[in-house]
Structure 1
Amino acid sequence: AKRIVSFDLGQNMVGHARLRVRAPEGTKLTMRFAEILNPDGTIYTTNLRSARQTDEYTCSGNGLEVWEPTFTFHGFRYVEVTGLDERPAADMIEGVVIGSDIPKIGEFECSDPRLNQLQSNIFWGQRGNFVSVPTDCPQRDERLGWTGDAQIFAPTAAFNNQVGGFLTKWLVDLVDAQGANGAFPDVAPRVAAGEGTAAWGDAGTIVPWALYQAYGDKQILADVYPAMKRWIAYLEQHSNNLLRPEAGYGDWLAIGSNTPRDVLGTAFFARSVQLTAETARVLGLLDEARAHQMLWNRVVNAFRAAYVQPDGTIKGDTQTVYVLALAFDLLPDNLRPLALGHLVDDIEGRGDRLSTGFVSVGHLLPVLSRFGREDVAWRLLVQEAFPSWLFSVKHGATTIWERWDGWTPENGFQDPGMNSFNHYSFGSCGEWMYAHTLGLRATQPGYREVTIEPRPGGGVTWARGNLRTGYGLLGVDWRLTDDGRMALIATVPVGVKAKIVLPPGTYSVTPDAPASDYTVLRDPDRTIVEVGSGQWRFVP
């Protein structure tokens, strides 16, 4: 009988296998590819739908044969080989990783190996799905440039890799695919699905703004701005008194919650108008900026009147509605603490667990931090119980799963019709890990001015990392001393101004620079040091 042998390459990847084999002439080998195993140790391929993910090779019998395919790629960690008469050599199968040429520019490491694995999973998910276009998944019969996935992940993507060229090119595809009515499509290039969908079509405003923040290139905004205006006109025309309809995908793959789609749609309508107004302002089109700002005021007022109660509750009462309302500045100042309280109550009522889906999850941790609940953000991040980011890490994941419940010990695999184990959307927490765990944040587009403000929590005692900006390497290396104080080394590129925010206290500063080279500001809650370029060491 012919042998069936499975190879575990240790990493869920995108590419193909390189075969090395010695076998008699006419030996036919079949290689099948999978991301994960069934409980009995066989490869799990049900989630591939109609995708074959199969390579076949017939041996010539001429000694050592080395072969790899040219015009295909697979999403896989495991390779099953059928057709051998004898036990294969361990190096018979080698994984060959492919992807678009987007140089890695970010590094992240901390004292918690679980978070390091999470960051690795985020990076590998991006690496495998940024192949010509930002695809949703690399393995099943889909592999499409879904716009909702791209918009929520874009800020994280810009921390990991130099994606300026890649996503700017994809924005050309997106604008090309815009309908005559102004609707952006659900996927770009436009080969399937619909158009005008809340949080998916809004990629046409969100992605260019994210790229501008990362790279400071106004041309990105100038190129897309006419299409952004057409999108805003479409939204206004396809709303009822500025409220978007109960339609679309909603907060896709949220777990244990159901956010009203009109609330979500109107929130993203407001966000797109806000970003279009900001874009007009950056481009010096002040009259158009004022017009869009007035429209934003009207949409926000409509949102408040229709969905927000005097006690700060919002229609739907889900984590998602509060996250979006707070992230997009849709609430009056007096209701923000109340809405935050409802959000925290929901999180804590679930045992410090999230319920957010694709298009809100990336805003969850930043909202909690922005409004003073860094403690809750950290509890969510380091949570291992289902559903959480570390649940999949605990169970051996090496990329981000499409679903929070793609596999659970109690229920096994989720619906095979939609159960990818390499889907980057839920990895949008990576932005927070760079901006809050490391503390690297741009205060001017393109990192001309930066803030370095680590916010420790979750039992993390040190973190280090860097980001290669357009000005050079921006880096941080911090650790907590035995008595809980922070020591920090900051690397600031030439031409960049940095504000370094430390816990309150007195620090020695190295190099022993003249006092005119830096400024120290103190208040009861923190110590702020304003510096220029160079490497700066702060010791308490």
Structure 2
Amino acid sequence: MLALLILVLLINKSSSHFLHDSGASEDSSSFPSIITPRHVRIQHTDVTTHSDIVIDTYTPHFSWQLGDEFDDEGDLVRGVKQVGYHILVHADVSNQVMWDSGYVHSSSSAHILYAGALLTSDTRYSATIKYFTVQRESQWYKAHFRTALFSLTDWSGEWIGSNGINMNQLRTVINISNTIRAATAYISGIGYYQLYIEGQLIDKSRRLDVGWTTYQQRTLYTSYDLTDVFNATGPIGIGIVLGQGWYNRQQWAIGLGARTELSDQYGPPRVLMQLNLNYTDDTSQSVVTDSSWLGREGEHRYDSVYMGTTMDLRVVRSCWSCANFTDPYPLWINASILPSPVNFTAGGHLSLQTMDPIRIGPDALHIATSGRSGLVTGVNGVSVTDGGVIKPISKDSVNGQVFDLGQNFAGWCKLTSLKAAKSTIIQLRYAELRYSSGENGIDFKGLYYENLQSIAVMDTVILNGTGNETFEPLFTYHGFRYLLVNGYDNIDKDDVECYNAHSETTLIGNFTSSSVVLNQIQHNILWSQLSNSMSLPTDCPQRNERRGWMGDAALSIDEVLYNFDYVNFYLNFLTMIADNQTPDGAVSDTVPFTVGTSPADPNWGTAYATITWYMYEHTGDRTIIEKYYVGIQAWIDCLTGKYVQTGLANMYYNYGDWAAVQQTKNASLVSSYAFLQDVHTFINMSEILNRTDNVEKYTRLYQRLADEFHRVFYNTAVSGYTDGSQTANILALALPNVVPASLRTTVLSSLINSILATGYFTGGIVSIAALYPLLSNEGYHDLALKLALSTSYPSYGYMFHNDIQNATTTWEQWNTLPTQAGSSLNHHMFNSIGAWFYQYLAGIQLNALNTIKIHPRIPYDANLLNHIEAEVVTIKGAVRAKWTRLSVESVSLSVTIPNNVDAIVSFDALIKNGRCMKLICDDEVFWMREVMDNELRMLKNVHGVSELTENQSTGTISIRVASGKYTFIAYWQ
């Protein structure tokens, strides 16, 4: 017994010296005396989900979560705070200390900036981190990362391809002369590429790489750690497959209004690769693309993002990327040197792709949430956590074999076990919808292609006749729910496997409720968001568009960041906006700029400021604001210049309140709204950066604009703005300090009366983003909930409660079916309601992860909604809120606050004009209203709970809580 006690003491004494590697388990629940940094992030990338982190900066920043601490009884400790940290950065090979921060007295555990010796290009490093709390010292945690090629001078090799033939397969053979210490590949293949070594596809889940950009301004490259691949000496074959992607003149010019003058700069696919080999004898070798590489047209004869793939399996060459490959036919010719896509003389960049790639299968979506992983009962569709592989739920025959996947999504289908004669042609067609009936009431039920506009959406394969063949299309994707197979009548459902493709991410949000309607809306939001996250936020995945429409991205960004870890994804998009910005500060409606106008419609251009701001709100990383601050100011100054010419009264641009049931008659108000909103956001950014000069300058501008907005748009005849439309009044009320205090009740009443009279919302994508928060903030939360729960036209619920199709993604139009059936059934521009789910229904407001707020808005009418459960996994840890209506007068609220952060928890009145009478925490009464003197007195001290306050005008009770788990019950009368 004594020996065991000594051993335990030794373990506790030396626990601070244990090295926790990034590959080890993070579960320390069985060792409550040991704490460890968790979910360490390097440049916003979580080492838990990324085994190979590559950075393109000399000064990375580091973040981590604090592990849970337990008391002697094994209970979770509340109020855990960091008091210091220590970070070491080493060069892996030399073990040189690049940075030793020493002990730093600080509570900060996020975005700690590297401050050591200059990092070098193409080098492997490790970061070792520990932190200290009041009671504990953590283990060391070791995470590895490596650097990209920092300069163009670090590159060698040439862009290769062919102007003469469709050279989409290239190969070479290298000789490994010694034992490899490190092998690192840097590659950019455009439009798309795949890398093979000795017949094996490197990174099998990775697709549609590299990401789409304005290639002449910025072309991306990726990097692979191939050390484990080159594990033997001798000859090694390397192969690269190329696809047209977005570097295709037809791809750019196929849509109406496409910018063909830009497409003229594009052409055949090409690739640049550099493979750096470092041997254990300290020698090195670089293998690069040049004219010695051999190329041919492979089995994929044609590929287009829009039009699909044509593949001829008769010309497949087995193991063509192997060193010992020989081709009996003289098909291979030397590659040609092609010009770089990047216009370096105009300031173009060849940059590391720091965002995650598009993936398929289980690697595409990681799960960080602890809540429900499957579908909620009653919700139609497929769970987002089902591994990215979708199987048909039914099969029937209409002009071929039709498979229903049960879910609208973006991706493609693979056919297996194909047994037919050589030269058999099989075609796959995709659609979101089936006809319910043809002309004269004839039951047709064929696929509906009208909303595909001018593209074919067809994958074609020509079989080799060898039996048991497999076909999976390359370098394309489709938006669909239904698959039609022509030319082959013997496909079983088990031989169809479809892939949900999207930019890799982690599901960090979970929202469920007692309402099947809200749960279906949440389901549709998740799927439409993933469907349109394809290296940039697109508008839709099915037709000849799929552009980076800025308005859609701005409207959904807050919702996205509650649900998915897409920080690097949107940082890439912000950089693309900056790349496309013209010298006069103008940004464009789409990025890359393909369709639309520049300067953008203000409600589209607002993406620059809006995305930047919400990225800060969700991460607390002020360097995001710093990076794009000057560009955002230039955009606002550009708009200001346009405003000076027109005034707000004539500031209409292009789109107004897009997709509205009833468009407001003066759309200049809609454009003006975005202008004022951007100015106000920029003031907030300036305050964060302590730019007092700009705070003063743009505050004066905002006040002038606010006064003018009211003066030119207020209409006394309708007691509201312009024509008294819902759109006009919502946007005016949503802007700070625009509606005079003396008129606010009048304008709000006008809006409420309009909603009650019509029974529905009549606006579009711009005003609905402001509607729900406005109603909840102004005391009309029950009305907001009734609109959200509606299933009649027009509403979110109507999308999945109609006679034509129950939607599993968000529609483009309120009336997409049947009157606007040429529109998309998979859009994300209406997804803004998803942020309201988290912020108001669950009450989770992140506030840049300083002091989190938990303030659920609970309806007076208990029949509307009686249960909400939500979770958001932030860089500091999981924030959870769950409330259940126990009775008309009482509610239970459970919250979890991550370590190293406090929260304000607020309880709204359950009864109109009611007062909170009693608060219980963990089954003990800790506050009860003293009726005699009406003072707020704590009857019992609860560890972690402090600062009880009451808002006299609303009756809201608020308390400050430290980190930990709490269950409260509030009683009202």
TM-score grouping bracket, smaller chain normalisation: over 0.9
2:419 corresponds to: 23
Q: How does 1:87-486 map to 2 (within 5 A)?
A: 88-196=491-599, 197-239=601-643, 240=645, 242-243=647-648, 244-309=650-715, 312-329=719-736, 330-351=738-759, 353-395=760-802, 396-407=806-817, 412-414=818-820, 416=822, 419-442=823-846, 444-446=847-849, 448-456=851-859, 459-483=864-888, 485-486=890-891
Does the CA contact (< 8 Å) of 2:430 and 2:478 recur in 1?
A: yes
Does the CA contact (< 8 Å) of 1:448 and 1:495 recur in 2?
A: no
CA RMSD after TM alignment: 2.0
Q: How does 1:38-77 map to 2 (within 5 A)?
A: 38-39=435-436, 40-77=444-481
**For residues 850 and 608 of structure 2, what CA distance do their matches in structure 1 show?**
23
1:534 corresponds to: 964
**For residues 723 and 495 of structure 2, what CA distance do their matches in structure 1 show?**
54
1:517 corresponds to: 944
Does the CA contact (< 8 Å) of 1:214 and 1:446 recur in 2?
A: yes
3-state SS of paired residue (2:572): helix
Deviation at residue 312 of structure 1 after TM alignment: 4.2
TM-score, scaled to structure 1: 0.94
Aligned CA distance change for structure 1 residues 216 and 29 (closer, same or farther; 3 Å): same
Structure 1 spans left out of the alignment, 5+ residues: none
**For residues 767 and 815 of structure 2, what CA distance do their matches in structure 1 show?**
17
3-state SS of paired residue (2:505): coil
Tell me the alpha carbon deviations over residues 313-363 of structure 1, each in whole angstroms, 9 at most, x when there is no partner: 111321111111111222122222111111111111112x11111222111
**For residues 286 and 104 of structure 1, what CA distance do their matches in structure 2 show?**
38
Which deviates further from its counterpart, 420-429 or 225-234? Answer: 225-234
Does the CA contact (< 8 Å) of 2:538 and 2:549 recur in 1?
A: yes
Amino acid paired to 2:904: K
Deviation at residue 518 of structure 1 after TM alignment: 0.8
Which deviates further from its counterpart, 104-113 or 521-530? Answer: 521-530
**For residues 686 and 840 of structure 2, what CA distance do their matches in structure 1 show?**
30
**For residues 887 and 498 of structure 2, what CA distance do their matches in structure 1 show?**
44
Deviation at residue 527 of structure 1 after TM alignment: 3.3
Amino acid paired to 2:470: V
**For residues 665 and 901 of structure 2, what CA distance do their matches in structure 1 show?**
42
**For residues 498 and 450 of structure 1, what CA distance do their matches in structure 2 show?**
5
**For residues 295 and 539 of structure 1, what CA distance do their matches in structure 2 show?**
46
**For residues 305 and 526 of structure 1, what CA distance do their matches in structure 2 show?**
35
Deviation at residue 523 of structure 1 after TM alignment: 6.4
Does 1:5 pair with 2:5?
no
**For residues 637 and 744 of structure 2, what CA distance do their matches in structure 1 show?**
29
Aligned CA distance change for structure 1 residues 85 and 165 (closer, same or farther; 3 Å): closer
Deviation at residue 472 of structure 1 after TM alignment: 0.2
Does the CA contact (< 8 Å) of 1:2 and 1:83 recur in 2?
A: no
Deviation at residue 482 of structure 1 after TM alignment: 4.4
Structure in which a larger fraction of residues adopt helix? 1
Deviation at residue 453 of structure 1 after TM alignment: 2.4
**For residues 51 and 421 of structure 1, what CA distance do their matches in structure 2 show?**
16
**For residues 309 and 406 of structure 1, what CA distance do their matches in structure 2 show?**
33
3-state SS of paired residue (1:165): helix
Deviation at residue 517 of structure 1 after TM alignment: 2.5
Aligned CA distance change for structure 1 residues 530 and 64 (closer, same or farther; 3 Å): same
Deviation at residue 119 of structure 1 after TM alignment: 0.2
2:429 corresponds to: 32
Deviation at residue 299 of structure 1 after TM alignment: 0.9
**For residues 149 and 483 of structure 1, what CA distance do their matches in structure 2 show?**
40
Aligned CA distance change for structure 1 residues 256 and 478 (closer, same or farther; 3 Å): same
Tell me the alpha carbon deviations over residues 350-388 of structure 1, each in whole angstroms, 9 at most, x when there is no partner: 12x111112221111001111111121111101111001
Does 1:505 pair with 2:917?
yes
**For residues 71 and 143 of structure 1, what CA distance do their matches in structure 2 show?**
15
Tell me the alpha carbon deviations over residues 82-101 of structure 1, each in whole angstroms, 9 at most, x when there is no partner: 11244x31222222011112
**For residues 521 and 534 of structure 1, what CA distance do their matches in structure 2 show?**
20
Does the CA contact (< 8 Å) of 1:29 and 1:56 recur in 2?
A: yes
**For residues 386 and 2 of structure 1, what CA distance do their matches in structure 2 show?**
31
**For residues 322 and 154 of structure 1, what CA distance do their matches in structure 2 show?**
24
**For residues 402 and 453 of structure 2, what CA distance do their matches in structure 1 show?**
21
Deviation at residue 294 of structure 1 after TM alignment: 0.4
Tell me the alpha carbon deviations over residues 424-457 of structure 1, each in whole angstroms, 9 at most, x when there is no partner: 1112111111112111112x32354322424246
Which deviates further from its counterpart, 497-506 or 179-188? Answer: 497-506
**For residues 462 and 436 of structure 1, what CA distance do their matches in structure 2 show?**
13
**For residues 487 and 864 of structure 2, what CA distance do their matches in structure 1 show?**
51
**For residues 888 and 604 of structure 2, what CA distance do their matches in structure 1 show?**
48
Does the CA contact (< 8 Å) of 1:320 and 1:360 recur in 2?
A: yes
Deviation at residue 241 of structure 1 after TM alignment: 6.0
Deviation at residue 5 of structure 1 after TM alignment: 0.9
**For residues 551 and 831 of structure 2, what CA distance do their matches in structure 1 show?**
13
Aligned CA distance change for structure 1 residues 23 and 505 (closer, same or farther; 3 Å): farther
> If you compute each CA radius of gyration, which structure gives the higher value, 1 or 2?
2
Deviation at residue 508 of structure 1 after TM alignment: 2.4
Does the CA contact (< 8 Å) of 2:424 and 2:487 recur in 1?
A: yes
Amino acid paired to 2:917: G
Amino acid paired to 2:848: P
Aligned CA distance change for structure 1 residues 149 and 168 (closer, same or farther; 3 Å): same
Does the CA contact (< 8 Å) of 2:781 and 2:857 recur in 1?
A: no
Structure in which a larger fraction of residues adopt strand? 2
> How many residues were matched structurally?
531
Does the CA contact (< 8 Å) of 1:242 and 1:266 recur in 2?
A: no
Tell me the alpha carbon deviations over residues 443-475 of structure 1, each in whole angstroms, 9 at most, x when there is no partner: x32354322424246621111110001210000
Does the CA contact (< 8 Å) of 1:259 and 1:320 recur in 2?
A: no
Does the CA contact (< 8 Å) of 1:100 and 1:131 recur in 2?
A: yes
Does the CA contact (< 8 Å) of 1:402 and 1:423 recur in 2?
A: yes
Aligned CA distance change for structure 1 residues 263 and 56 (closer, same or farther; 3 Å): same
Deviation at residue 180 of structure 1 after TM alignment: 2.1
TM-score, scaled to structure 2: 0.53
Which deviates further from its counterpart, 198-207 or 381-390? Answer: 198-207
